[in-house]
Amino acid sequence: MKEALRTSVVMLAMLTLLTGVAYPLVVTAVAQVAFPAQANGSLIVREGRPVGSSLIGQPFSGPRYFRGRPSATSPVPYNAASSGGSNLGPLNPALKDGVQARIADLRREAPGLEGIPVDLVTASGSGLDPHISPASAEAQASRVAKARGMSEDEVRALIVRHSEGRQFGILGEPRVNVLLLNLSLDEATERP
């Protein structure tokens, strides 16, 4: 056993150099050269300063912005330094209450809204989901248009611009990037 332990220490040290030092450094070096934007968090830069990451959602609650998925991160929603979901079980009364409150909230601003897409009222797994479904964007289009004094067609055109289809036409689900959509809404309204 003593011999096995000595060999173990030396082997672990060498495999650490290989997999814990050399490997991450090589990946970092290649990544920083070949894919610098992605490797550093896919930051969106406007007027020289980062306003967010195109992969990380932000909290939106005002009528002028499209809302993203509800976020269960703690202590504040969309806390990108502490990701996580609600972990509410399917029969937990807190899940039903939360969904009911979100529906009431949406209907306050858009009375009579029916068939609310499920992703708009359920918390994402990461609490940072940057996307909503196209149906969830459509459900908010007229509210945002009214609040900004834009035509619904203008707003829909922006939704389409920030929609992504299935990757290669097959993989994943169609989706709309909420932060990019809201940024371009701001740009559109600021224009003279």
Partner 1 sequence: MTTSGLIQIGLYLLALGACARPLGLFMAGVYEGRIPRIVAFLRPLERLIYRIAGIAPEAEIGWRRYATALLGFSLVSIVSVYALQRFQGVLPLNPEGLPAVSADSAFNTAVSFGTNTNWQGYGGEATMSYLTQALALTVQNFVSAAAGMAVLAALIRGFSRHDSDTIGNFWVDLTRSTLYILLPLSLVLALVLVSQGVVQTFSPYREITLVEPGPGVDGKETKTQRIAVGPAASQVAIKQLGTNGGGFFNANSAHPLENPTPLSNSLEMLALLLIPAALCLTFGEMIGDRRQGWAVLSAMTIVFVAMIGLAVVAEGRGNPALAALGVDQAGGNMEGKEVRFGSDMSALWAVATTAASNGAVNSMHDSFTPLGGLAAMWLMQLGEVIFGGVGSGLYGMLAFALVAVFLAGLMVGRTPEYLGKKIGAFEMKMASLVILLPCATVLVGTAVAVSLPQGKAAVANPGPHGFSEILYALSSASNNNGSAFAGLGANNPFYNGLLGLAMLVGRFGVMIPILAIAGALAAKKRTPVGPGTLPTHTPLFVALLAAVVVVVGALSFFPALALGPIVEHLMLPA
| Site track for partner 1 across 28-57, x = CB under 8 A | x-xxx-xx--xxxxxx-----xxxxx-xxx
Closest by Cα among 185, 85, 92 to 145: 185
The stretch among 21-29, 140-148, 149-157 that binds partner 1 (CB under 8 A) is 21-29
Q: Which is nearer to partner 1, 70 or 153 (CB)?
A: 70
Residues 141-170 that bind partner 1 (CB under 8 A): 166-168, 170
Spatial distance between the Cα atoms of 74 and 45, rounded to a whole number of angstroms: 26
Q: Which is nearer to partner 1, 103 or 188 (CB)?
A: 103
Min dist. Cβ of residue 187 to partner 1 (A): 11
The stretch among 128-136, 140-148, 154-162 that binds partner 1 (CB under 8 A) is 128-136
Phi and psi (nearest 5°) for 78?
55, 40
Yes or no: say if 142 and 152 are a contact pair by the CB < 8 Å rule: yes
Spatial distance between the Cα atoms of 177 and 192, rounded to a whole number of angstroms: 25
Residues 75-114 that bind partner 1 (CB under 8 A): 75-93, 95-96, 99-100, 103, 114
Q: Is 52 exposed, middle or buried (0-12, 13-18, 19+ CB in 10 A)?
A: buried
- Distance of alpha carbon 60 from its chain centroid, rounded? 12
Q: Which is nearer to partner 1, 162 or 175 (CB)?
A: 175
DSSP string, 15-35: HHIIIIIIHHHHHHHHHHHH-
Length in residues, the chain: 192
Min dist. Cβ of residue 155 to partner 1 (A): 17
Count of residues binding partner 1 (CB under 8 A)? 103
Q: Which is nearer to partner 1, 62 or 161 (CB)?
A: 62
Min dist. Cβ of residue 127 to partner 1 (A): 7
Q: Which is nearer to partner 1, 84 or 156 (CB)?
A: 84
Min dist. Cβ of residue 36 to partner 1 (A): 9
> Within 13 A of 8's CA, how many CA atoms are on the CB side?
5
